Chain A
Amino acid sequence: MKKQLIMLRVNGESCELAVEPQRTLLEALREDLGLTGAKEACGTGECGACTVLIDGKPILSCLTLAIEAQGKEITTIEGLAQGSELHPLQKAFIQHGAIQCGYCASGMILNAKSILDETPKPTRDEILKGLEGNLCRCTGYNKILEAIMAASMGKD
């Protein structure tokens, strides 16, 4: 299919790229822009590893077309830290042992950010419900919950 020229705004920068209309945002981010932090684990919207934020809301980039994301503010895991200063959630994930293999981490952290942006002091159940779409096979979610609770209380 014929490629279209699109403009994406990713992590505060504008990027122009030519994509086929069926190209997913995940493919565009990973393969065209080299932002490989978002991961594919299923490709069918079941696992949450490809989660990125569009206008602050978590979306599954494997089910979103790149052309749909035009004109919106896309945040990937690469855009979360301020220079070398990690986001409090990133610090908390490291500090609390919430990362093991790390494959789900970028989606998990971005989703956690959207939970805290919406509900700064979430309950345990609100966090777990919010993370329901992000699968992790390593941690059993215990340390992830601890990390997000700690970040919500302003602790590392």
Chain B
Amino acid sequence: MEELSFVGKSVPRKDGAEKATGKALFTVDMVLPGMLWGKILRSPYPHAKILRIDTSRAERLPGVKAVIAGKDTLGIKHGFVETPRYAPDQYPLAMDRVRYIGEEVAAVAAIDEYVAEEALSLIQVDYEELPAVFDPEEAMKPEAPEIHPSHPKVKEPYKNIGGKTESGWGDVEKGFAESFLVREDRFDGQLRTHCYMEPQATLASFDFSRKLNVWTSSQGPFIKRAKLATTLGLPFSKVRVLKAYVGGAYGGKIDLFSHEFCASLLSIKAQRPVKIVCTREEVFEAARHGQPIFVELKTGVKKDGTLVAQQVKVINNSGGYRGSGVVVIFLCWGFVMLCYRIPNLKYEGYSVYTNNPVRAPQRGHGAPNLRFAVESQMDMIAEELGIDPVEIRLKNARQKGDILPNQDPVRNCGLVECIEKVAETTQFKAKYGRNRSLPRAKIRKGIGMGVSSYFSGSLIYPNASAAIVKLNDDGTVSLITGALDIGQGAETILSQIVAEELGVSMEDIRVVAADTENTPVDIGSWISGGAYVSGNAVKLAASDARRQLFEVAAQELEANPEDLVVKNREISVKDSPGRSISFTQAVAASIAKRRGNPIIGQGHYRTMKDVPAHPSLATTKGRWSDNYAFDAQVAEVEVYTETGQVKLVKATTAHDCGFPINPLIVEGQIDGQVSMAQGHALWEEVLMKEGETLTNSFIDYKIPCAKDMVESHYVDIITEKYEKDIPYRTKEVGEGYVSGMVAAIANAVYDATGVRVKTLPILPEKILMGLRKKGDS
């Protein structure tokens, strides 16, 4: 096989120097002449009717240039999901009712932040408070206050159902009856939040051609453009979303946010640029958090641990609007069925409205919680059967060649190898259970495993990616892509692909990215398809450019295109030293002799080329993804039995991401997810009381800091390969496939202490209580 020079190498980030020198401009850094500052007035009530909004005093305050409330909008709703079944349900500015504390009610633009802040205090809003409900299971009861009518297609007499997913196959009742052991457990996830370091921020500028230009801290410009244009009643072509560096997102910056809409409308109204930067408090209190989900899990197995039947019920607390609630209940089905072969399954997921802030995807979008449930129970079953955790997983693991219940083929799957290798590397079997025979120790060590899988791109608007690879007169290359680098390294890996295909160095490539007007469409950095879908689009564009270069070169060198090789911006005839032409010469020749063709390569790609749409969110029917990534992870912990504290000492990840385009970036993605899993499993929780956020700072909501750093090890399982001119099938690496770590930590804690915690986070008091209950403290 041809040796690769760039793909598969740990090439440093392309934007490294810009970021390391402070020159990279994030949305918060953007300034335009005449720029105004916007501020948002938010609801102080979890549930209330808006009777009257009087903005007149604010409008009269000197320095105020525009004030908007619901009546100034077109009253067009939006939603994370917009389908016939799930119609948009949220106004970008509240009209007649508010459904959570922090919901946006009005906004002002003024000459500075202080005047804007003062203007907010002059807006008079009369509310009539309504009864509110915060817990999803309370909200489902018939006597609960109605936040939105239950979805018409949900048959049960539950209230406040935003959506339902129902799926299954086989006969679970028969399966349970035939099982040797049946376990029923419930696992509760907590409310977590992203904690991207750059707060939500938007700069909008409505120009004289009546076009709206928007810089916003996001995860992809094309979905933002679509939602802004729709809610503002503008043609797509009159909204331009441009690139700015993004200071982290992790799922929390996908959907349309009110501040983006408000900055835009204020700019239209004031005819001046308007910038809104949310404070950290606003981010904690009113921006979207992750999805807290409850999982009821009933599993039947044979005596040897083979899965026979599984019944799963997932309840999600979606907050005052759907947000991504109806997506997470679909996805949880997927995260159940991907890793193990389950002959009989019954799945139901409910997304429930409550009077809490709306929820968004958060890295893994349900996978960490769902896998926490399944993998915890897997260990409980293994223990009851006297099988070790490795064997029970191997017995049930998904394998290459399987057809998933939705008919997706599992073309390549390294799960078995992941489990075997991670167990071997960590000496899992030797370490597992070692504490149980030891006398009571103050520090107990434990080891635990979790496995996970994730899809790699699916069909959600904008569905596809395209790219342009343009040769320049000096022989360098411009890559024009709609992909947005949010820190995951999109621009770097896409440049590596161009470098590989064209035989140019990383420095020879200039990237123009993420501009809805000047770059082609891109699926966005939120559907786990960047490396696969955008990567293949770029690969095709680069090989198109190379084909054109070779045609010219063949003519100039009087050779066959098949005999040409390319390296260092030079095309030469194989085995004929001296017969070569530089890119600069080739471009000049192409312009001179091919009617001015400057050599522009184009490519486009879409996952599942013949499939019309995303699978049904209601029934899960239909193809979901082309590629699935798999992993097995092991956590090694120390538990301090006097304090109940857990230290995650070492994390080992065996992962099948197809092949790593850039191993350094893959490692970085794994480290980041291990760190998030540590916080998720052990301490992070957004505490709320009657709709009010109590943890609204980094002091109250602690994320892992440097001293919490976990030793992270990686085992690469390579199941795919990269070859020139052939689309490749690498898999996602950014979110869900290392979602086994939360479960691995929980299982390691159990191994160390014998305490099984089923409600996250695994706080010290839960361990102490567990130890006391066992008479073991």
Contact = CB atoms under 8 A, between A and B. Distances in A.
Interface string A37-48: 111111110110
Contacts of A132: 705-707
Contacts of B12: 94-95, 97
Contact of A138 (B26, B29, B245, B487): B487
A141 B675 contact: yes
B247 A42 contact: no
B712 to A, nearest CB: 5
B19 A102 contact: yes
Interface stretch (B220-228, B343-351, B696-704): B696-704
A90 to B, nearest CB: 4
B8 interface: no
Contacts of B487: 100-102, 138
Given A137-B703, A138-B487, A37 B23 contact: yes
Interface stretch (A2-10, A65-73, A77-85): A77-85
B718 interface: no
The A contact surface, by secondary structure, is: loop
Nearest to A94: B16
Nearest to B678: A140
Residue among A38, A80, A99, A140 with the highest chain B CB neighbour number at 10 A: A140
A6 to B, nearest CB: 19
Interface residues of B, number: 58
Interface in B496-540: none
Interface stretch (B315-323, B462-470, B666-674): B666-674
A94 B733 CA distance: 20
B667 A143 contact: yes
B706 A144 contact: yes
Nearest to B665: A97
A135 B705 contact: yes
Interface string A120-149: 000000011111111111111111110000
A140 B23 contact: no
Nearest to B14: A94
A139 B697 contact: no
A135 B280 contact: no
A86 interface: yes
B302 to A, nearest CB: 39
Residue among A76, A81, A141 with the highest chain B CB neighbour number at 10 A: A141
A53 interface: no
Contacts of B665: 97
Contact of B672 (A78, A94, A100): A100
A97 B10 CA distance: 9
A91 B20 CA distance: 8
A42 B196 CA distance: 11
A104 interface: yes
Contact of A101 (B199, B247, B671, B704): B247
B426 interface: no
A123 to B, nearest CB: 13
Given A42-B280, A135-B703, A137-B703, A102 B668 contact: no
Given A103-B197, A137-B703, 12 more contacts: A41-B197, A41-B199, A42-B698, A43-B279, A102-B24, A129-B706, A130-B706, A132-B707, A138-B248, A138-B487, A140-B675, A143-B667
Interface of B: 10, 12-13, 15-26, 28-29, 194-199, 245-250, 279-280, 486-489, 664-665, 667-668, 671-676, 697-699, 703-712
Interface of A: 30, 35-44, 46-47, 49, 76-78, 80-81, 86, 90-91, 93-97, 99-106, 109, 127-145
Closest 10 CB pairs of A and B: A37-B22, A101-B487, A103-B247, A102-B19, A140-B675, A94-B16, A77-B22, A140-B671, A131-B706, A100-B487
